[in-house]
Structures are given as structure tokens and as C-alpha cells.
Homo-oligomer: A and B are copies of this chain.
Amino acid sequence: MTSRAELSRLSLNQRTTASWSLREAIQGCVDAGLGAIGIWREQLAEVGLDEACRTVAESGLRVSSLCRGGFFTTTDPAEARSAEASNREAIDEAAALNAATLVLVPGGLPVGDRDLEAARDRATQAIERLVPYAHERGVTLGIEPMNPIYAADRGVISTLAQALDIAERFDATDVGVVVDTFHLWWEPGVAGQLQRAGQRIVSYQICDWITPLPADTLLARGMMGDGHVDFAAFTRSVASAGYRGDVEVEIFNADIWAAPPTSVVETMSERYRQLVQPYLT
């Protein structure tokens, strides 16, 4: 049996139980004894910000992240303005929810555009433009480096080292990094980069790298323990860097989405207790 104290830092990212509404996910976290939830803007929009804030407050859960801002690699000025407006709205939401961070997914290469370096520069500049707005509202932006498998179509920032190169241009209270095992488990020297990150780690997301990779690579993530990630070693490095926040389980996977959400939360809690929680301190 899993005791409640052991799960106090565990967070359910809503995408792991994609069929649940926000209210259902919050209730699921409370029922399972989790300490936090990672909220997605799409499900937030279904209930509206005010009701979401009320429900979260009543639940006693922390909001470990708001997912997600970013997607600002476009070369089209109108699209760039629209992305900025959307990111400002996301910052407002993160502030209202008192989220630990707003997760920024950089975005991929525009269609037909092969200049990866320029896309990375545009992402950096877009973050720079958002910082004053986020700072005023007390929101820490979290840059999410993404597995190179997504470099073309989703996230042009590919390593923790690269994300830190960007984050370190700003105050640590303004810009941090999102550390996700799926994205970073393979990175040479990642333990050293986690040490370097220190207080900039604003979110620790976990799921496994499984092989063979499912056919839809956007749904390629596995439950902790089902794949190749060494959660003990990775978690020790995250803890040793000083991270004391929540640990969010974020799994995009068709099989997991097809399972009853309560059993998914049960499995992830058990795996967390076995593979992650013992290495957190």
C-alpha cells in the first residue's frame, strides 16, 4: 500500500488522463492523495478560469504547471503577434492559478523552412518579449527542451544545456527550465547540466522512453518502469540540484488513454513510489 505522505509531491499532468475533465482530474488527484495537478489550457477553457481557480482552491491541490505556452517559431508577423497574445493570456492564467510555472514548448520549424538556428533565435526572442509581462505577474516561465525526435515539428530547443543557455540570460525567478525524463534521459552530461540548472528547475516531469517506439511518435511515452530511463539516477540528480517541487507524470500514450483513468492514477502512484520517490531527497 502507498501511504499519502509518500505521494505528497506527486502531480498528475492532465494529459496522462486525457479523457477526464478538469473537475474530474482534480477529484481524481484528491481521491488518490496526490499533492498537485498539472493543468492544460484546453481543459481550463472548458470551465473558465474563475471556476477553475475556485475548484483548485477547494481541492487544496497545488498547480505544478500550466501547459502550455510557447509555439513561437513562426516567421509570419501576424502569427507571431497572435502567439504573443496567447502567451500573455497563458501568463495571466498561470498567475491566477498560482502555477509553479508556465511550460513553454518552443514550437517547430515553419512549413518549408529549414533554418533551425533562426527558429531557435526566434524562440529566444519571443521569450525575451514575454519576460517583463511574466515578471509583473510573478509567473516563472519554464523552457522545455524537447527530445530531438520533435526538433522539426514541435520543439526546436533540444537539450537542457541549450535551454539553460537561454534561461540564464534572465533572472532565475523569471525563466527556468522544465526537466522531462522523456526529453532528456539520453543527453550526454545531463547530470552536470542538472547541477548547473539548480534553482532554475521549475518542473520535473516524468515518463519513460519505450521501444519499439509507438507508430505515432507524439504518443510515444511510456509509464515509468516500462522503458529505458534510469529514474533512480535521474531523480537523484534532480534532487541534488536542489529541486523540492512536485513531480508531474505526463504520459501521452494511446494505450494509457484507453485505460480507466483511476487505474492509470493507481499505477503511476505505485511506480512513482517504487522508482522515483525514494530518490527525491
CB distance A228 to B159 under 8 Å?
A: no
A–B complex contacts, Cβ < 8 Å, 23 sampled:
A114-B229, A114-B230, A114-B233, A115-B230, A116-B230, A147-B148, A148-B186, A148-B187, A149-B213, A151-B185, A151-B186, A151-B209, A152-B209, A152-B211, A152-B227, A153-B212, A158-B186, A158-B188, A162-B188, A212-B217, A213-B217, A215-B215, A217-B217
What is the number of residues of chain A that contact chain B, defined by CB distance less than 8 Å? 31
A274 to chain B, nearest CB (A): 14
Distance, CA A217 to CA B115, complexed state (A): 24
Asked if A126 is an interface residue, CB under 8 A from chain B, the answer is: no
Complex: how many Å from CA A162 to CA B159? Answer: 13
Q: Mark A177-200, 1 if CB is under 8 A from B, else 0.
A: 000000001111000000000000
CB pair B211–A187 under 8 Å, yes or no, is: no
Report how far A213 CA is from B148 CA in the complex, Å: 12
Residues of A bordering B, CB below 8 Å: 109, 114-116, 120, 147-149, 151-153, 158-159, 161-162, 185-188, 209, 211-213, 215-217, 227-230, 233
Point out which of A187, A188, A230 has the most chain B C-beta atoms below 10 A from its C-beta: A188
Contacts of A151 in B (CB 8 A): 185-186, 209, 228
A188 touches B159 (CB 8 A): yes
Least CB distance from A106 to B in Å reads 12
Contact A149 B149 (CB under 8 A): yes
A239 to B56, CA, bound (A): 57
Question: In angstroms, how far is the closest chain B Cβ from the Cβ of A238?
Answer: 16
Flag if B185 contacts A228 (CB, 8 Å). no
- Top 6 A-B pairs, shortest CB-CB distance: A215-B215, A151-B186, A114-B230, A152-B228, A148-B186, A162-B188
Closest residue of chain B to A159 (Cβ to Cβ) is B188
Per the bound structure, the CA–CA distance linking A152 and B211 in Å amounts to 8
Do residues A116 and B153 form an inter-chain contact, with CB atoms below 8 A? no
**A228 lies within 8 A of B114 (CB):** yes
